[in-house]
Structure 1
């Protein structure tokens, strides 16, 4: 237990009083005991010097001298040699109190200086760590930009090399399909061919969406109206899967953005939620206006929560990585496109998921 200042003073005073009582009450024919008590005075003097520095050491040694002098004069006065020895001991009390107090005070000042230096080093470390995190974030953004740049070049090549032949393949398959009625073995294969060409065309479209610049024509965007239209658009798809879509929005402010691109981002999140939720499950969309915490712009937060199986922890960190998908037949580009659109509007998208308890995507956009 750490002693407080008053308790320390009380302990020193009690030691001085106790030792003095031993001196005054012990008979003079026991000089050995008096020698012991005489040395015991060093304990409160040294303690005071350790706890209170130079001032404490000298003050205590002076008090001890004042208390001890009457004992020398009145009880040892008839023995001059012993009296001189004890006065010399008083001088030593003050020397020890002064030197010990001075050294302890210097040590305390040095310790405080070291603590201040340690505090400054800790602040510098925090600042350096913050800067390092910022640099890592910038490097990650640069790597992402490089990947998107390469993806843009690849998308342009795909658009030229794949889409035109793909259209020819689809047109040819549709013509041939007319020659084989429903139920013919080749009719089924041609339908598979048409279905796969549609899927390949969607992959190419996703490539193009991911590689296109996000900066487009910005205008006022009514989030409330956009989300209501999307929920209405997906009602039949959700009902076919036995999923209920719930919309719970506060009074949403009008924001400045590209309605078409934001609609695409919200559509990706809603479709993911519906597809991840089993029959009888729920997908809820909530929107709140976040309180302004500084001079920065206010933000609106939209949460898209489903009651599905959730995302495994190992996959959660990769969920926004292009081409990473846990869905059969998925391209792994939908969430990457969503993140790019949201960040292009000055916002952020995060995900929270627990296996067996569903997934929640949170989209924060500046007002």
Structure 2
């Protein structure tokens, strides 16, 4: 069964997804910023190193210039000495090349062949470099690897000595002038740049390792975040499914506990593994609340025949009828299929129980109604055919009784004819009542007043039988038709007086009442001869009687009246133990609801 999910359960999932997305993006951004900052630190260190090296190379060249002492004879040796110095310095693995170029990019001197020296574009550099000694730097990449290019605007004297044209025009240094003063006096407009190519691979190797570690760490964090996202999402889905399962179980438990039919799970050995509330109510004795716990008991211990399991494959289901504590139960046993994974233990079965007591009563009432309808049709015909000639016969019998008065035995015969005609007239009257019962008009009837009226009507019969009725009206009133109630009490009291007969000892006829939730019970009891079970079961049927002079219509009329009141009638009796007839009159509100 599908159970609807609640909308607010999606909120934590959305919040978690957003949090993980923010975490992942933030981690990537911070890692990128950290890598960029680390790269900038490495490049700044390289720029500082390149500037220091460039100034050191320039200082060495100036040392050579000072060593010449302003002697023009040795000026041509300066390019060779400079080349030797640059080659000696470039022999280290830290250098790619060292060269001096003019502002047009022509190589003046280099540690490498001129064709191996990279061409530098000075178009944008001249505007930035204003004074000698200023450096500039940039990174480049080629087949050799990462290279830091550091440039330095050299002093004019070095540029003049490296240029053949300017070298010839440069006068000798007069005595007393320093190289710097001589340079300022005779410097030409020629510019020369010291270009140093440093091997940046070694310096960037740590950065690359850091970058690799940062990327791996970021990837690990990202994968961990993704894994946690899937794990959290799976957990939330599992929790949601668990909540849905709990709601489904609660729904099923409530459904099973409130369904009118009983449901029991019985193990292979007959042990009751589970039972719903209806099963406990149906199988528990009405007067024993403690016996309502069925789980753990054995099905075979219950006073019910073990039903045969139904054939699931063939679909043949057979309900078994059982009488249990006054209830008419139908029981069906359904086994689990052997291939069902949910029931690995063979022999497990479900037992379904439904209460058919009310339906059986309705069926009996329907059959009774059919019988009464037949009797009604017969009674109407008999009353029509018999009553008129019966009146004539009674009239003639009464005439004969008067004419033959004092002439025995003819007088006795005539009197007997009159009495039998009256008895037959009463039978016809009862038949007419069964055939065409009058409409009832229930009102609130005072039982004490009805009891006194009954004593007056049957005073002579009770005095003749030596009976004093006992009244115990705990419920003072009852909702009933007054005339119908009086006829019911008359018929039942007459039956009790007949049952007492010639019993020796105290003779008791009692009428009592007590309230119930939906109405009032009125009971008529006696301590007469009682009835056996066979007679008790047929006592309400028309024309059935165990009396020698009875018509068999008294209790049938009582039953018909109770049915018209939408009430109930039950008879408790045993031989020599007396009889109690219980009549239930429903309250008007319950009567309307039931209707």
Distance 2:498 2:551 in 1: 14
Tell me the equivalent position of 2:361: 137
Q: Deviations over 1:236-280 (max 9, x none)?
A: 21111122211111241341x321112111111111111111353
Mapped contact 1:226–1:263 kept (Cα < 8 A): yes
Mapped contact 2:447–2:473 kept (Cα < 8 A): no
Q: Of 419, 424, 447, which aligns to 1:223?
A: 447
- The Cα shift of 1:331 comes to 0.5
- The Cα shift of 1:136 comes to 3.9
- The Cα shift of 1:201 comes to 0.6
Q: Structure 1 residues 212, 113: closer, same or farther in 2, change over 3 A?
A: farther
- Correspondences of 1:82-97 after superposition (within 5 Å): none
Q: Of 251, 263, 267, which aligns to 2:486?
A: 263
**1:240 aligned onto 2:460:** no
Tell me the equivalent position of 2:570: 350
- The Cα shift of 1:307 comes to 0.9
Q: Structure 1-normalised TM-score?
A: 0.62
Q: Of 268, 278, 283, which aligns to 2:509?
A: 283
**1:306 aligned onto 2:526:** yes
- Larger Rg over CA atoms: 2
**1:360 aligned onto 2:580:** yes
Distance 2:569 2:538 in 1: 14
Q: Structure 2-normalised TM-score?
A: 0.39
- The Cα shift of 1:202 comes to 0.9
Q: Deviations over 1:215-237 (max 9, x none)?
A: 43333333332222113322321
Tell me the equivalent position of 1:69: none
Q: Of 189, 192, 203, which aligns to 2:416?
A: 192
Tell me the equivalent position of 2:542: 322
Question: Which secondary structure state, in structure 2, belongs to the residue aligned with residue 110 of structure 1?
Answer: coil
Q: Of 369, 385, 393, which aligns to 1:161?
A: 385
Distance 1:361 1:283 in 2: 12
Mapped contact 2:478–2:585 kept (Cα < 8 A): no
Q: Of 330, 340, 343, which aligns to 1:110?
A: 343
Q: Deviations over 1:306-338 (max 9, x none)?
A: 111111222111111111101111000100110
Mapped contact 1:273–1:283 kept (Cα < 8 A): yes
Q: Structure 1 residues 364, 238: closer, same or farther in 2, change over 3 A?
A: same
Mapped contact 1:308–1:358 kept (Cα < 8 A): yes
Mapped contact 1:339–1:349 kept (Cα < 8 A): yes
Distance 1:308 1:198 in 2: 27
Q: Structure 1 residues 175, 265: closer, same or farther in 2, change over 3 A?
A: same
- Correspondences of 1:49-68 after superposition (within 5 Å): none
